Amino acid sequence: MRKAIIAGNWKMNMCPDEAMDLVTELIPLVKDAPCEVVVCPPYIDLLAVGKLIQGTNIQLGAQSVHWAPKGAFTGEISADMLAFLGVQYAIVGHSERRQFFGETDETVNKRAAAALAAGITPIICVGETLQQREKGVTDAIVSKQTTAALAGFSAENVKKSVIAYEPIWAIGTGKTATAEDANATIAVIRKAVACIYGDKVAGALRIQYGGSMNPKNAAELMAMPEIDGGLIGGASLKAEDFAKVVNYL
């Protein structure tokens, strides 16, 4: 059985005081959650949030990670730096990083590998644009992104990773793939992994849905056999909303 994982991606929101208020409110609301709970605040909040969630069932995530251990990479942050702060997860290759900051399949692979080397679990994002979906190439796109992201990984590192299927057309738009469509695409992702690593590894890999999961649709999406959690954007910025998603049962 794959344990579900629901992660909140706060994106560029919340100063430390706001972050601490949110997490303080969230802690009692998710203490009995049926899944792993992760919050991914901006870098400036990691220290404060990390201290607050010590001893709770909430885990700490970052929104990206660089592949180099150190160097002249202005504005980036290394896996060792994140590990020092107690970060356990790192989002890699989010569509906004691909769209606005030049992420490629190659850099996604390098970032994910660096995270794993530091003992951090990468949440590797894949997904198609609306144009690609309308052309009927969704399966080809997500399969290509998945295999590229995992290139050179051992079977054990694949099983340690998390993939998030995030249809780009559904992020921040309020649009959501039907539960059946999301489940079918995640099955395609799992099949792409199985073709390289076998059914056992693919069956152990957790794959989230990341396209506008919210309190209204979480239960339906989480009931799908291929969906192992969610990467939550807007709904993670309010403790009550995020708690409703986390407590989807």
Burial-class residue 76 by CB neighbours within 10 Å (0-12, 13-18, 19+).
middle
Whether 66 sits among the annotated catalytic residues: the reply is: no
- Using CA atoms of 125, 220, 140, 95 in order, give the dihedral in degrees to the nearest 10: -30
On whether the CB atoms of residues 31 and 2 are closer than 8 A, the answer is no
Counting Cα atoms < 13 Å in the Cβ hemisphere of 43 gives 12
Query: Catalytic pick from 36, 103, 128, 166?
Result: 166
Whether 166 sits among the annotated catalytic residues: the reply is: yes
Rounded distance between C-alpha atoms, residue 89 and residue 17, angstroms: 22
Adjacent-strand bridge partners of 60: 39
- Using CA atoms of 18, 24, 26, 30 in order, give the dihedral in degrees to the nearest 10: 160
Rounded distance between C-alpha atoms, residue 111 and residue 79, angstroms: 9
Query: Catalytic pick from 36, 66, 94, 128?
Result: 94
* Cβ-based neighbour number of residue 20 at 10 Å: 17
Residues involved in catalysis: 94, 166
